[in-house]
Amino acid sequence: MPQENGVEEKKRYFVIKHVFHAFISLLVLFGLVILFKKLYFDHNPEYWLEMFYGNSLVVHMIYVGSEVLFGLFPPELFMVWAYNAGNLASYILNILFFAAVSMGAGHLAFWIGRLLAKKIGKKIRKMKFVEKQLPTIKKFGGVIILISALTPLPWATISLIMGIIEYKYRYYSLFALARILRFVINGFLIYQTGNYFF
């Protein structure tokens, strides 16, 4: 019983610590977007509108590339673009598109991880850092997936790691559904606060 309490306490600490870090990252991200708007966009909106807002195909291609290449840019930047680029119907369609691409990129990364596990899995597992962290990652796999799905942690990278350690796909798929929640919540927040900040 005391051992179970210790595990639960470790899990709670792990979750609180990473959620706190992710929350701070999200605040910093929103702060940077607002700062960019105030310092650059507001002074020369025509340039930025012509460069990005006028060409949705380019924006969508950049987003797909970013998600497939392990989240180079946070999805919220693209949500802000979608907010400024059209009406409510267009905004909702863009959010659905962003969520679908992100989910697809995560699953793709997971299966790439599985492929890597077959090819070079033993070598990766023998690396000191991986060997040290592997028991924690396996023990808290579901929690790690949930945290990365809901926060600015690199989603595709975590998905890749879960594939490499051969985490069960059905559990990955289940926890990965939380990714959709991130787009719903942040999409709603951006839409509600857009007039004040964006």
Distance separating alpha carbons of residues 80 and 36, to the nearest angstrom:
12
Segment 3-17, tens digit of pLDDT: 555 656 665 665 566
pLDDT at 95 over 90: yes
For residue 55, the model assigns a pLDDT of: 76
Average pLDDT over residues 148-170: 88
Average pLDDT over residues 82-109: 93
For residue 138, the model assigns a pLDDT of: 77
Q: 9-23, 136-150, 153-167: which range is least confident on average?
A: 9-23
pLDDT at 86 over 90: no
More confident residue, 13 or 161: 161
Average pLDDT over residues 20-48: 62
For residue 39, the model assigns a pLDDT of: 61
Nearest to 103 by CA among 159, 166, 59: 159
For residue 105, the model assigns a pLDDT of: 95
For residue 128, the model assigns a pLDDT of: 67
Report how many domains make up the chain.
Answer: 1
For residue 102, the model assigns a pLDDT of: 96
Phi-psi region of 50 (alpha: psi -120 to 50; beta: other; left: phi over 0): alpha
For residue 165, the model assigns a pLDDT of: 85
pLDDT at 129 over 80: no
SS (H, E, C) the chain: CHHHHHHHHHHHHHHHHHHHHHHHHHHHHHHHHHHHHHHHHCCCHHHHHHHHHCCHHHHHHHHHHHHHCCCCCCHHHHHHHHHHHCCHHHHHHHHHHHHHHHHHHHHHHHHHHHHHHHHHHHHHHHCHHHHHHHHHHHHCHHHHHHHHHHCCCCHHHHHHHHHHCCCCHHHHHHHHCHHHHHHHHHHHHHHHHHHHHC
Q: Which domain holds residue 15?
A: 2-197
More confident residue, 169 or 70: 169
For residue 161, the model assigns a pLDDT of: 85
For residue 141, the model assigns a pLDDT of: 87
Query: Contact at 8 Å (CB) between 186 and 75?
Result: yes
